[in-house]
C-alpha cells in the first residue's frame, strides 16, 4: 500500500507540511504579500535618477515619496552601452523594481563621453531617452546659477535639493573624486564654489608617488600623533581634511558675515562624521533628491 494512502486527512497534511501551498496559512500570506507589493509598484509612478561621476555612478529608483532602491557602481568610460545595459538589467532583476514601471528617467553626468552610451542604453532598456540636466533648464529652477556652462550638473542638483529642503543661506560639501563647497544665498543664488582634491584622490596621489607609503582605510586614527605609517597617513588625510572643511566653512561665514547651514553628501562624507566639527547635516542622497526634484519640476 502506498504510504500516502495511510494518511487519513490528506488535505490537512498538505496544508500543514507544505507551507508554500496556496491553501496553507503561510502560502496564503505570501500570496497576499506578493499581490500587495506588486500592486504598490504597479500603481505608483517611478523615476530612475542617474548621477555619473568621475569615480562612481550612483542611480536609484524612487516612488512618489521614497527611494525604493539605490545602487553604486564604478565609472568605466571603456564600457559600451550594451555592457552598461547588462549591469542595469541584472541589478533591476535582482531587486523588486520592475523595469516596465519606470515612467521617467533623469541623467546628470560630469563625464561627457558616457552621455551617448547612457542615452543608447536607456533607450534600449526602457524605451525612452532620459532627461539630460543641462544649462537650458537652469532658469526654471529655484536656484540662480552663476556661469551655468562651467558648474557641474551634480553641483546644481546638490544646490537645488539643499535650498528646497533646508533653505538658505547654506553650504553643500560634496565628498567625491573632488571635494566641493557650494554656497547658496538666502534667495537661492549660488554665490560661489570651491574645489579641492577629494579624500581618495589625495590618498591615491600620495601612495602612487611615494615608494614606501601604501593604501590605508579612510577612518579617523586614534590620535593626531601617528605612531605608525597607517595612523600617520590617516591623521594627515582624515584629520587634515576635517581641518580643511572647518576652515573653509569659517572663512566663508566671515566673508559673508552670516551663519550657514552646512550639509555634507557624497560617497566619503561619512568618513568625516564626528570629525569635522562644522558639518551639521549628513544627507547621503542629496544629489539624487536634487535630480528627482528637477525632473518633477520640469515636468509640471
And the C-alpha cell for 23? Answer: 491553501
- Kindly report the length of the chain: 300
And the C-alpha cell for 207? Answer: 601612495
Contacts 24+ apart (CB under 8 A), 220-224: 220/271, 220/274, 220/275
Rg (CA), the chain: 25
Q: What are phi and psi of 70, to 5 degrees?
A: -130, 135
- Of 131, 179, 189, which is closest to residue 159 (Cα–Cα)? 189
Element housing 49 (H / E): strand 46-52
Element housing 270 (H / E): none
267 contacts: CB under 8 Å, gap ≥ 6: 55, 56, 58, 72, 175, 176
Considering 9, 35, 82, 154, which one is annotated as catalytic?
154
And the C-alpha cell for 27? Answer: 502560502
User: How far apart (Å, rounded) are the C-alpha atoms in residues 144 and 163?
Assistant: 11
User: How far apart (Å, rounded) are the C-alpha atoms in residues 51 and 115?
Assistant: 11
56, 69, 71, 157 from 95: Cα distances, Å = 20, 8, 11, 26
The verdict on whether 154 is a catalytic residue reads: yes
Question: Based on the number of CB atoms within 10 Å of its own CB, is 32 exposed (0-12), middle (13-18) or buried (19 or more)?
Answer: exposed
User: How far apart (Å, rounded) are the C-alpha atoms in residues 257 and 277?
Assistant: 19
* Catalytic residue list: 154
Amino acid at each position: 500500500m502506498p504510504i500516502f494512502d495511510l494518511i487519513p486527512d490528506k488535505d490537512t497534511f498538505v496544508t500543514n507540511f507544505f507551507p508554500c501551498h496556496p491553501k496553507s496559512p503561510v502560502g496564503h500570506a505570501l500570496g497576499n504579500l506578493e499581490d500587495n507589493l506588486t500592486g504598490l509598484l504597479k500603481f505608483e509612478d517611478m523615476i530612475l535618477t542617474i548621477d555619473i561621476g568621475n569615480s562612481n555612478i550612483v542611480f536609484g529608483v524612487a516612488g512618489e515619496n521614497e527611494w525604493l532602491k539605490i545602487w553604486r557602481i564604478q565609472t568605466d568610460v571603456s564600457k559600451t552601452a550594451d555592457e552598461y545595459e547588462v549591469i542595469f538589467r541584472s541589478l533591476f532583476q535582482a531587486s523588486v523594481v520592475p523595469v516596465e514601471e519606470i515612467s521617467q528617467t533623469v541623467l546628470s553626468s560630469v563625464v561627457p563621453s558616457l552621455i551617448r552610451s547612457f542615452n543608447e542604453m536607456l533607450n534600449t532598456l526602457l524605451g525612452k531617452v532620459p532627461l539630460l540636466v543641462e544649462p537650458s533648464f537652469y532658469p526654471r529652477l529655484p536656484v540662480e546659477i552663476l556661469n551655468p556652462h562651467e558648474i557641474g550638473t551634480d553641483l546644481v542638483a546638490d544646490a537645488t535639493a539643499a535650498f528646497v529642503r533646508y533653505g538658505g543661506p547654506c553650504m553643500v560639501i560634496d565628498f567625491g573624486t573632488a571635494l566641493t563647497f557650494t554656497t547658496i544665498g538666502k534667495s537661492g543664488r549660488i554665490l560661489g564654489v570651491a574645489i579641492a582634491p577629494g579624500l581618495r584622490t589625495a590618498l591615491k596621489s600620495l601612495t602612487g608617488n611615494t615608494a614606501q607609503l601604501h593604501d590605508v582605510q579612510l577612518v579617523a586614527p586614534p590620535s593626531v600623533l601617528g605612531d605608525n605609517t597607517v595612523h600617520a597617513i590617516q591623521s594627515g588625510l582624515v584629520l587634515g581634511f576635517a581641518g580643511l572643511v572647518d576652515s573653509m566653512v569659517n572663512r566663508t561665514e566671515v566673508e559673508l558675515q552670516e551663519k550657514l547651514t552646512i550639509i555634507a553628501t557624497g560617497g566619503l562624507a561619512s568618513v568625516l562624521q564626528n570629525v569635522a566639527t562644522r558639518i551639521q547635516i549628513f544627507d547621503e542622497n542629496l544629489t539624487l533628491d536634487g535630480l528627482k526634484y528637477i525632473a518633477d519640476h520640469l515636468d509640471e
